Structure 1
Amino acid sequence: MKNDGYLHLELILSLNIFLVWGAAVPQTQYTADIVLPCDYALLDSGMGGLGFTRQKVTLVLQNVTVMGEEPADAPPDYQPPESPEMTIFLATVDLSTLSFAQRLLHVECEGEEVECEISPLYSQFFAAYIRLPELSIAVIAEATKPTENPGELADEKIVVPMTVDLLVSSSPPSQRGSLSEEVTLNCEVWGGMEASMDWHLQKDGTGHRLNLEDSRITIQQGAQVQKKATSLLTIRLLNVHDEGTYICAVTSGKHRVQQILQLQIREPPQVTTSVSGKPKTTVTCHTDRYYPLDVEVTWLLNGSPLTHVSPITSSHRRNNDGTYSVSSFLEVPVPQPGASPDTYTCAVSHVSIADPIMIEVNVLPEDIDPSYTVFLTIVILAIIILSAPLLLWKKYQLEKKKTI
């Protein structure tokens, strides 16, 4: 048996091994330059109206901190050419690690569609808006050298050195949800000053600040840590009235930036079919509780498109919860007795589903009328009864001839 000294030593060694292996492996990071093609957009009041003129420029986010191990084939630091073919906005990013940096770094290599637009704001500040299918970024940067005429920057084809003062991102900028589900919209802010964030809903041409008295809505806003703050908007038990444009309004010092997020409600239809025989045989397809309004109902007969009969479709009806319903009626012939049943298929297409919902209903052959069967039986019996004497007389005559 081991004495207490050996046991104590083993416990210490085991604890040290556990601490070494159980310690969190430190995450590596490196810096990189992200080069993006952009449009330089300027408000133009010419030709009697307001519009934007656009010119091609390049945006370089320089010295971006990327989380992960630097790849062996990482591109070198960006060096602007002495005689650029277009104006280059060279923006130095002195912020903590950007959660989306790695994805943004490889966006061109992966062939992902990216939109980028730069516009002058005020004084020496410029705003850049970058948008990917699942990421939206707003950047406010200050030119480190005086720019006398921002409208001529794109024409000059020069390098404009800048420093990023504020960056706001959301991922994803557009979400879809079904009724009674839960959705969370996010707004992340990087910057040197304390930022405040408010949420607004824009719908049907009007906007209002979100009512936090609604128990379904919560906003979680964390304190700024390492120049970063986050605001999460959660909506539970979604209904159709929650659909709209949500705006995360960020105020940081003298800067005001809006991050726009879209929330769409998509509720798949519930489809039922039935058949009735009075006064005419009618098959009905009832489509209920779908949102948004657009829905398409078509019919198939035994698997083929139905072309010789036109359905009658009711108007869209709105339910109490804001969803819609519609019915399609089809008067059909009844198969002849002994024939196979006709199978009618109601196909419902809607933006909430990838493939149409297909519901079948069978129209059975017509049954023989019982009164007709009784009448036919009586007629047959009458014929047999009436013809019996004639058959007996003929039999008698035939036997009589045989005896002569």
Structure 2
Amino acid sequence: MAKDDPPVIFEASVDQVQIPQAEALLHADCSGKEVTCEISHYFLQAGQEATAERTARFIANVQAAGGGPGISIVLKTLRDAENRAAWHPMLNLPLSPRRTVPTTVKFQVTTQTQALSFLLGSSASLHCGFSMAPGLALRSVEWRLQHKGSGREVYSWTAGQSQARREGATLDPEQLHAAGDASLTLAGLTLQDEGAYICQITTSLYRAQQIIHLNIQASPKVQLHLADQRVPPTLICRITGYYPLNLAVTWTRKEQGGAPVQVSGASFSSLRQSMAGTYSISSSLTAEPGSAGATYTCQVTHVSLKKPLEVSAQVVPPEQRPIFGVILASSLFLLALLLFLRLTR
């Protein structure tokens, strides 16, 4: 359409097909989510329907921003010149008295959310539902994974025969037929499971799909310890086993009776990656105990955490450090020496 052309409004009847996510999309703007709709012509393969010359078909993709629901809808309209007084000049389609293009929904594929995040090692369920008009038959279901320019088949169902290409991938055949539920379950998630999953449903006449983005996360583990006893001492905050890469580390210092103050000057080790694909890094900071000692806190923020992780250590001046460890070590040495002399007599 040209920039100045009036918009085309499609009016869709859902008498034959149910759209479970319609309410969520109709009221998405109430929660601040933007809804987009793209409509294009849908062309049947040659010889699929004898009356194809008297019908026009469109496929509409409706999505809610921010990981909301998504629907792909196949629309069909009749070219009924006798009962329609007005025609759309560009599309050559009959218009209703409200100047809309009347259509009927023949087939739809929907997902409850288009973006999901799961922890490494857990199980994920990717929702994909469909419904079709009477007279259509389900032919196949295919799940594919696309990630970083490469793709592979994950699961397929054709004429009652299913095949899992990924170990632990399952689909419930009973729910497939009884409820139009083609949802995929993945057990024991690894980082290789991350990416865009394409759920494609094929009927005897139509084909449509939904895309669900699966993000894998691994929560970091944090440890804080003194690297040495030199003056001033060095604190090392070790962060291990996290994914994805983005991570924030903040240091604070708190003297007795005072408020925490953010400190700078921390250095970082080189990034390390395990065989499983998770990351590890260390942050080092030179501590200034002051005259009365201070508490240092290493705070780690990551997308997998509901709230930041914090670990703290108290640093005291050299003159306040206990000598119990030295006395204990000397006592143990003398005890071992006496025991050795007694046994050698």
**Residue 179 of structure 1 aligns with which residue?**
120
Give yes or no for contact 1:222–1:229 (8 Å, CA) kept in 2: no
Distance in 1 separating the partners of 2:320 and 2:13: 88
**Residue 192 of structure 2 aligns with which residue?**
241
SS of residue matched to 2:244 = coil
* CA apart distance, 1:279: 5.2
Change (3 A) 1:293 1:113: same
Indicate whether 1:263 and 2:214 are aligned: yes
Letter in 2 for 1:201: L
* CA apart distance, 1:182: 1.1
Distance in 1 separating the partners of 2:103 and 2:210: 22
* CA apart distance, 1:358: 1.7
What are the Cα deviations for residues 322-372 of structure 1, in whole angstroms up to 9, with x where unaligned?
11111001123444xxx32211111111122243222111111112799xx
Alignment of 1:37-76 (within 5 A): none
Indicate whether 1:219 and 2:219 are aligned: no
**Residue 270 of structure 2 aligns with which residue?**
315
Q: Structure 2 residue aligned with 1:283, among 230, 235, 239?
A: 235
Alignment of 1:136-147 (within 5 A): 136-145=70-79
SS of residue matched to 2:297 = strand
Aligned-pair identity (%): 30
SS of residue matched to 1:230 = coil
Distance in 2 separating the partners of 1:112 and 1:257: 24
Letter in 2 for 1:166: F
Indicate whether 1:131 and 2:63 are aligned: yes
Distance in 1 separating the partners of 2:75 and 2:235: 65
Instruction: Please identify, of 247-256 and 197-206, the stretch whose mean Cα deviation from structure 2 is larger.
Output: 247-256
Change (3 A) 1:129 1:96: closer
Q: Structure 2 residue aligned with 1:305, among 262, 265, 276?
A: 262
Q: Structure 2 residue aligned with 1:88, among 2, 5, 9?
A: 9
SS of residue matched to 1:257 = strand
Give yes or no for contact 1:247–1:258 (8 Å, CA) kept in 2: yes
Change (3 A) 1:137 1:357: same
Indicate whether 1:330 and 2:285 are aligned: yes
Distance in 2 separating the partners of 1:197 and 1:289: 36
* CA apart distance, 1:185: 0.8
**Residue 319 of structure 2 aligns with which residue?**
367
**Residue 35 of structure 2 aligns with which residue?**
114
Indicate whether 1:194 and 2:137 are aligned: yes
What are the Cα deviations for residues 126-145 of structure 1, in whole angstroms up to 9, with x where unaligned?
11111124311100111222
Over the residues paired in the alignment, what is the CA RMSD in angstroms?
3.1
Distance in 2 separating the partners of 1:104 and 1:334: 57
Equivalent pairs counted in the alignment come to: 283
**Residue 51 of structure 2 aligns with which residue?**
none
SS of residue matched to 2:171 = strand
SS of residue matched to 2:15 = coil
Change (3 A) 1:236 1:119: same
Distance in 2 separating the partners of 1:260 and 1:368: 62
Alignment of 1:154-173 (within 5 A): 158-173=99-114
Letter in 2 for 1:202: Q
Structure 1: segments with no counterpart, 5+ residues: 1-41, 43-52, 57-84, 371-404
Distance in 1 separating the partners of 2:24 and 2:312: 47
Change (3 A) 1:286 1:99: same
Distance in 1 separating the partners of 2:210 and 2:92: 25
**Residue 274 of structure 1 aligns with which residue?**
225
* CA apart distance, 1:150: 3.7
* CA apart distance, 1:152: 10
* CA apart distance, 1:194: 1.7
* CA apart distance, 1:92: 1.5
Letter in 2 for 1:188: G
**Residue 335 of structure 2 aligns with which residue?**
none
Distance in 1 separating the partners of 2:16 and 2:30: 24
Letter in 2 for 1:311: A
Distance in 1 separating the partners of 2:305 and 2:207: 39
Q: Which has the higher contact order (CA 8 A, sep 6+)?
A: 2
Give yes or no for contact 1:120–1:150 (8 Å, CA) kept in 2: no
SS of residue matched to 1:326 = strand
Distance in 2 separating the partners of 1:214 and 1:224: 19
**Residue 301 of structure 2 aligns with which residue?**
349
Indicate whether 1:207 and 2:151 are aligned: yes
* CA apart distance, 1:253: 2.5
SS of residue matched to 1:103 = helix
**Residue 375 of structure 1 aligns with which residue?**
none
**Residue 331 of structure 2 aligns with which residue?**
none
Distance in 1 separating the partners of 2:92 and 2:319: 84
Distance in 1 separating the partners of 2:14 and 2:132: 10
* CA apart distance, 1:292: 0.2
Query: What is the TM-score with the length of structure 2 in the denominator?
Result: 0.73
Query: What is the TM-score with the length of structure 1 in the denominator?
Result: 0.63
Change (3 A) 1:189 1:279: same
SS of residue matched to 1:164 = strand
Letter in 1 for 2:286: E
SS of residue matched to 2:192 = helix
Letter in 1 for 2:149: G
Change (3 A) 1:354 1:160: same
Change (3 A) 1:199 1:55: farther
